[in-house]
Amino acid sequence: MRMSQRSSRTSHGQTIWEKTFTVDVRKSIVRGHEPGAHPKILATQFGCSSSQIYRILKNNRDDDGVVHRQSPGRPRTTSRAMDRNILRACREDPRRTSTDIHVSVTSPNEQVPSRRTIRRRLQVAGLHG
């Protein structure tokens, strides 16, 4: 069980040491809570505070054996497959504009990305400037 410590300061200037948990430890905490183990019992097992266990249980959920962590911010409008299709369309014809790529990658099942989103995906991949 690998854990490291991270320090943070409160508004009063006090230093608080928190353990940061690996993915495996977070999985075992979430799965240990499923049968009904109380977070305080899990806290003593993993050697941390019960507030950390409550935070892990709040931010992580178990779906089919895979622990997903909630991420802050707005969800992406394009899937990984759509991003791949955008890059493929650009590599086929590098002179193609974002409007042309927009028309070629649009499918009836997925949400239509904006031209600005297409330009953003190309910029992240290092294409078109």
**Residues 58-71: what's their mean pLDDT?**
64
β-strands 66-69, 60-63 pairing: antiparallel
Tell whether the model's pLDDT for residue 45 goes beyond 70: yes
Tell whether the model's pLDDT for residue 1 goes beyond 60: no
Tell whether the model's pLDDT for residue 126 goes beyond 80: yes
Tell whether the model's pLDDT for residue 3 goes beyond 70: no
The reported pLDDT for the residue numbered 8 is 53
Tell whether the model's pLDDT for residue 97 goes beyond 80: yes
**SS3 assignment, position 120:** helix
β-strands 60-63, 15-21 pairing: unpaired
Return contacts of 117-125, CB within 8 angstroms, 24+ apart: 117/77, 117/78, 118/86, 121/78, 121/83, 121/86, 121/87, 122/86, 122/87, 122/90, 122/98, 125/87
The reported pLDDT for the residue numbered 95 is 92
